[in-house]
Amino acid sequence: MLPEDKYFQSRDDAAIWQRYCGFLDLSVDEFMEIQEGLLMEQIDLVAGTPLARRIMGGRKPRSLQEFRNTVPLTTYDDYQTYLGDQGDDALQEKPYFWVHTSGRGGNFKWIPYTQAAFSVFARYVIGGLILGSASRQGEVNFRPGTRILFTMAPRPYASGSLFYYLSEYVTLRTIPSMKEVETLEFQDAIQRAFKLGLRSGVDVIAAISSVLVKMGERMAGQTEKMSPSLSMLHPVVLYRLLRGILRAKLQQRKMLPRDLWPAGAVMTGGADTAIYKNELARYWGQVPYEVYAATESLLIAVQNWNRKYMTFLPGSAFFEFVPQSEWLKSREDPSYQPGTVLLNELESGQVYEVIVSHFYGMPLMRYRIGDLVQVMSLDDPDTGVKLPQITFKSRADGLIDLAGMTKLDEKTVWQAIASTGIAIEDWSARKEYENNQPHLRLYVEPREKVEAAHLEHLVDEQLREIDVDYRDLGGLLGLQPVRVTLLSTGTFGRYFEAKRNNGAHLAHLKPPHMNANDNTINMLVGLSEVNG
């Protein structure tokens, strides 16, 4: 029997809820006690390793305060020599597995995970699956054997690794199987997942929000043109199709994905989740359940069962937070060591950069993960959670500063574009100068005919609605800083193909939404002109 299955076999729902979701009942003091206990244990574990000795300057901190005073904040550059080639000589123990993500300039960041660490993350992921399929406190709908429709990146990306190794802890039926996902191209894996899901049924959908939105859009537009195929003759598939058609007809609307794949939970993450929340709910029948995950720490925070805000996981990593003012100083002067605060010192409404220190013999210490989160409140009266409630704000390097007055993040720009009502295939934004005046340049591939000037006006209007500082920028300085470059139809698709043909890895197939470099922008514009 798998390690986590035994709890579902032998314990009642109350105990299961407490094991996997009980962290929501912790007080801030209890949370901090756990954090400090695990950190001190971690220091004991790794103090003798070459990597930790280097990071800690040869001195083993004896207290949390000493740790924060003597160990500097780090970035991946501090670990590159030791971890870049997946060597384990400098580590405390041989890793259970390695994961990687895209780094700057196409270099991968490799992160090792110990088995002890993963067993904790496995518990938290199951907690996320329970919370994601619950509508009230104590409700446990997740069971071993749950069918998970998986449309994320395969191993050694974090999401793929997470579900691959999770199946060694709890019985899961991923659709397609995690081994099959690794043999398929990403696009093919997505198609295969939905095809198989039609036959097997689905309990949970674990997917990237944009994939689900695209899928929903396509289905909503294509159901009436659905061409029959041999696979549809399978009795179960036929039954689901007929049921879906009947549901849609009864509600006098087009068929939506939720009619074919009615899932108990839709688990997703990323900046776009909040923007497409309503669309996702409409297409998939569930308000998406958001998690905050990163390659460097597989799961950092998860939403409560009311799907409002996220709560940090106490055993995930030791958390410190750089206040926005300190973060700005360090951005202007990279040599500046910003001060940090702890979870019990967070203030409502403030934005912080997240700093993590690993537990369980893993290597990162006071690591600048590069994400900004916003503390929405210090508790959640709706659910009774007494821990700070956060939302993901943006990547720290994903902000566009306009005239020092406003800092636009990916979520804000995305929301503004989405709210224009113009159908967009994809976009990329960065700061450019025109006559020494900074402006926000959007490279946009529209799906419908639109004039650049009109789109500029619409985006500007939406930004004024969404962002108070941006409104001031316009109001006080009389600036309209949005500029739009329209890209021809299929530009992003061609970019994707060109990258794939060049052997680029999955993480680099799409251009970044914010602050893309010159090469990327030139390539996009070039590909647009080829077609135009």
Partner 1 sequence: MDSTDSFVTPAYLAPPLAAFCLSLVLVAIVLVGSGRNRAHKLLALLILSTGLWALFIFLMRWSPDTSQALFWNKLAVSFSFFTPAFYYHFTRVYTGRHQSGFWLIIAYMLPAISFLLMPTGLIVQGMSVQYFGYSPVFGPTMYVLLVIVYAVLALGFRNLVLAYRSSTSYEERNRLVYLVLAISFPMIGGIFELFPSAYPATIFGNLMFGGATAIAILKYRLLDIQLILRRGTAYLLMSVMVALPYAGIIILSTQMLGTTRTIWVHLALLLVLAVALLPLWGRVRHMVDKAFYRDRYDYLKALEEFNQKAHDIRDFHDLATSLVRQIRPAVKAAVVYILLPGPDGDFRPIVSSRAGVGASKLAQTVHLEREAPPPVLAGDGLLVKWLRHSDVALDAGNLDIQPHLQSISARDRSELERTMARLLIPLKMKNKELAGILLLGEKLSGQPYSQEDQTLLHTVASRMAVELENARLYFLERTMRRELEEQDQRKTEFLHSVAHELKTPLTAVISSSELMGNDYDALGPDQKAALINNISTSAWKMNKRITELLDFARVQRGMLFLDVQRLDCVSLVQDVVSQLGILFTGKDQTLMVDMPDELPWLNGDRAKLEQVLTNLLENANKFSAHGGHIRFRASQLNDKVLMEVEDSAPPIAEEERLKIFDPYYRGEDADRRQRLPGLGLGLALVKEIVKLHGGEVWVTVRPGSGNIFMVSLPVPGTQVTRDIEDLDLVLRGYD
Which residues would be at the binding site for partner 1 (CB under 8 A)?
Answer: 7, 10-15, 18-19, 22-23, 25-26, 30, 33-34, 37-38, 40-41, 57, 59, 69-70, 72, 116, 120, 123, 140, 143, 314-315, 337
Least distance between partner 1 and beta carbon 120 (Å):
8
Closer to partner 1 by Cβ: residue 262 or 315: 315
Closer to partner 1 by Cβ: residue 106 or 138: 138
> Do residues 200 and 175 lie in contact, with contact meaning Cβ atoms separated by under 8 Å?
yes
> Do residues 404 and 331 lie in contact, with contact meaning Cβ atoms separated by under 8 Å?
no
**Locate tokens 């574990």: which residue?**
45
Q: Distance (Å, rounded) from C-alpha 395 to C-alpha 409?
A: 8
> Do residues 109 and 76 lie in contact, with contact meaning Cβ atoms separated by under 8 Å?
yes
Least distance between partner 1 and beta carbon 13 (Å):
5
Least distance between partner 1 and beta carbon 175 (Å):
18
**Locate tokens 């994905």: which residue?**
257
**Locate tokens 């934005």: which residue?**
351
Closer to partner 1 by Cβ: residue 10 or 517: 10
Which residues lie below 8 Å from residue 289, measured CB to CB, with a gap of 6+? 128, 131, 132, 133, 265, 266, 267, 268, 303, 307
**Locate tokens 């179960």: which residue?**
236
Least distance between partner 1 and beta carbon 24 (Å):
8
> Do residues 406 and 414 lie in contact, with contact meaning Cβ atoms separated by under 8 Å?
no
Closer to partner 1 by Cβ: residue 135 or 251: 135
> Do residues 94 and 500 lie in contact, with contact meaning Cβ atoms separated by under 8 Å?
no
Q: Distance (Å, rounded) from C-alpha 398 to C-alpha 72?
A: 24
Least distance between partner 1 and beta carbon 55 (Å):
12
Rounded to a whole number, what is the distance in angstroms from the first to the last CA of the chain?
A: 60
Q: Distance (Å, rounded) from C-alpha 223 to C-alpha 227?
A: 9
Least distance between partner 1 and beta carbon 22 (Å):
4
Least distance between partner 1 and beta carbon 138 (Å):
9
Closer to partner 1 by Cβ: residue 11 or 214: 11
Least distance between partner 1 and beta carbon 332 (Å):
17
Closer to partner 1 by Cβ: residue 142 or 283: 142
Helix (H, G, I), strand (E, B) or coil at 462: helix
Residue type, 403: A
> Do residues 299 and 276 lie in contact, with contact meaning Cβ atoms separated by under 8 Å?
no
Q: Distance (Å, rounded) from C-alpha 204 to C-alpha 304?
A: 17
Closer to partner 1 by Cβ: residue 52 or 193: 52
Least distance between partner 1 and beta carbon 149 (Å):
19
Closer to partner 1 by Cβ: residue 7 or 464: 7
Closer to partner 1 by Cβ: residue 41 or 401: 41
